[in-house]
Amino acid sequence: MVAKGKKVLSFDPRKDDLDDIAAVVIGPSGNLRAPSMKLGKSWLVGFNEEAYTRQFG
């Protein structure tokens, strides 16, 4: 999941183009956007309060 402003985008690297995923998860410094965390096999990149509430309760 990628939180970008009020939007939350979901990607599946097996189906989605990796360049499209990289375009939204890589910040201007060339690193992953912050905050970024790995949850099992999933990643949560960026901050969206609703998405965090869904993941962590």
Residue 43, C-beta contacts closer than 8 angstroms, at least 6 positions apart: 1, 25, 36, 37
The reported pLDDT for the residue numbered 17 is 97
Nearest to 44 by CA among 52, 24, 22: 52
- What is the distance between the alpha carbons of residues 8 and 48, in angstroms, rounded to a whole number? 7
The reported pLDDT for the residue numbered 7 is 92
The reported pLDDT for the residue numbered 34 is 94
pTM reported for the whole predicted model: 0.81
Long-range pairs, 6-10, Cβ under 8 A, ≥24? 6/48, 7/48, 8/48, 8/50, 8/51
Bridge partners (DSSP) of residue 39 are: 42
The reported pLDDT for the residue numbered 11 is 96
pLDDT (tens digit, 0 to 9) for every residue of the chain, 57 residues total? 999 888 999 999 999 999 999 999 999 999 999 999 998 998 999 999 988 888 888
The reported pLDDT for the residue numbered 38 is 93
